[in-house]
Structure 1
Amino acid sequence: MNGYCFPDGVSASNSSARQPAAEQRRLTKKDVLFSANTPFTGVFAIRRGSSKTSVTADNGNTQIVRIDLGGDMLGLEGFAAGIHTTTVVALENSTFCFLPYDRLMHVAQQRPALREKLLGVMTGTLVYHQRAAYALASTNAEQRVAGFLIVTSERLAERGYPGPDFVLNVTRQEIGSLLGLTLETVSRCLSGFEERQLIHVRGRHVELLNQIALRKLVVQVV
């Protein structure tokens, strides 16, 4: 993670270009960054920490749709809707940058690299949700849990953390919500992986012992 509010890969020659009137917001665990149906005035980026993004159906049921890590941009759906359609909650003490829409668009016009990066982030978010929908429709419980562990490891490694050895800031119930599984099924899958010496679990600390075997369980699209 580069420590700036803009996505990785966007270079700038001065601090005003790197952080266009960005406002830092520090949240503690369980604090709400923004809620569904609130006005869209800009996008957020995680500078430090992590969060969960969820949607609420008309019947009141809430489902987690994404675990957000440092460098991720949040609230992008508001570009089209004019309001936030998701709710984001901090999973730990975290720092977010708020990028006002008008200033972000002004800087994007001046910096083609930033504009292209933003489009890339939006496209990547769409692809992510398409793959997640496919996985829920076409994979079994073990494949989903294995895919979650592999993807989490890869995402953390991209941010400079030791990928195969990490701490989960989400509960097993939250993992189940993300994957469309019950708490009991998630626990059963993790216990099964540990019995087969694919992983080692200590509380929320997870170590991937046999990534090759885990990857064999995962459908390529995940």
Structure 2
Amino acid sequence: MGQPLPIAVTSTQASGTYRPQAEVCASCSVRQFALFGALDEAALAQIHYRIADIRLEPGQTLYSAQDSGSAVFTVRRGVLRMERSSESGERRILRLAGRTDLIGLESILHQTYAADAVACTEVEVCRIPRVLIDELSVAHPGLTRDLMKRWQRALDDADEWLTELARGPARHRMLRLLLKLSEYGEDDGRLWLPTRQEMGAMLDMTFETASRLVSALRREGVLRSVDGRQARLDMDALMVALREDGER
């Protein structure tokens, strides 16, 4: 479980100084992939003051399961994990969310959040109130279609985690996890490396098994640590390992 709020929220108006959030949205590096990517600058100027820029440190919780869903969030930077805990306290990581992903979609149906959203790295998200989406869906019919596409993408991601990362031989699951993590990597090739406990919670394996597999992949040159929480992948070696694993 991540640490509770407070989290850093950047207001569009602070201390009497106006910050043009419309310009922030217009110049955002993920805007064309984000929910409001199709809106022009005039439309952004009408809604900017209702969008909050939130920043989290690793381990902080954006929202918790069963919280009343009042907003969705676009991930601009970093990686979050969607996790749940059983009644016995066992934690399971359901999937990850990274740059351009839209999370908290269940709030659109006035439902509570289905899982805890916890920052794995430094994270920046935009908070979009549910009522704003309701209003814009009337004026911009294409927004509803975009939301449906993003909902389907989230379902596909969840299915992929279930079929590729929670079943099959342990080594295969670990290799598939590394391939998945590469999707959330930095431009310079670095990627966030989960702890062995987190890997266990993602892959349904023990700490000892996760440690053994990571050590083996380091010896094989597939994985190279940069520091405690970052690593680099040799993608060619990873693809060879996946291919050989599939032939066994």
User: Does the alignment reach a TM-score above 0.5?
Assistant: yes
Residue 206 (structure 1) aligned to one of 232, 237, 243: 232
Deviation larger for 128-137 or 18-27: 18-27
Paired residues of 2:94 and 2:202 also in contact (CA < 8 A): yes
Structure 2: state its 5+ residue gaps. Answer: 1-27
Contact residue 5 and residue 97 of structure 1 kept, 8 A: no
Trace 1:1-222 onto structure 2 (pairs within 5 A): 2-4=29-31, 7=34, 10-14=37-41, 15-16=44-45, 19=48, 21-80=50-109, 82-136=111-165, 138-156=167-185, 161-162=187-188, 165-203=189-227, 204-208=230-234, 210-216=237-243
Deviation at 1:142, TM superposition (A): 0.8
**Radius of gyration: which is bigger?**
2
User: What is the rounded CA distance, in whole Å, between the counterparts of 1:218 and 1:108 in structure 2?
Assistant: 47
Q: Distance in 1 between matches of 2:67 and 2:163?
A: 29
Shift of 1:195: 2.2
Instruction: Answer whether contact 1:56 1:62 (CA < 8 A) is retained.
Output: yes
**Which fold has the larger relative contact order, with Cα–Cα distance below 8 Å and residues 6 or more apart in sequence?**
1
* CA shift for structure 1 position 35: 0.9
TM-score (normalised: structure 1): 0.83
TM-score of the pair, normalised by structure 2 = 0.75
CA contact under 8 A between 2:80 and 2:118: conserved in structure 1?
yes
Q: Name the count of aligned residue pairs.
A: 214
Kept in 2, the 8 Å contact 1:20–1:107? The answer is no
> For structure 1, which runs of at least 5 residues remain unmatched after alignment?
none
**Deviation (angstroms), 1:145:** 0.9
**Residue 77 of structure 1: SS of its match in structure 2?**
helix
Compare 84-93 and 9-18 and name the one that shifted more. 9-18
Deviation by residue 1:26-60 (Cα, 9 ceiling, x = unmatched)? 22222211111111112112122222211122222
Closer/same/farther in 2, CA of residues 188 and 61 from structure 1, 3 Å limit: same
Distance 1:16 1:6 in 2: 19
CA contact (8 A) 1:46 1:97 kept: yes
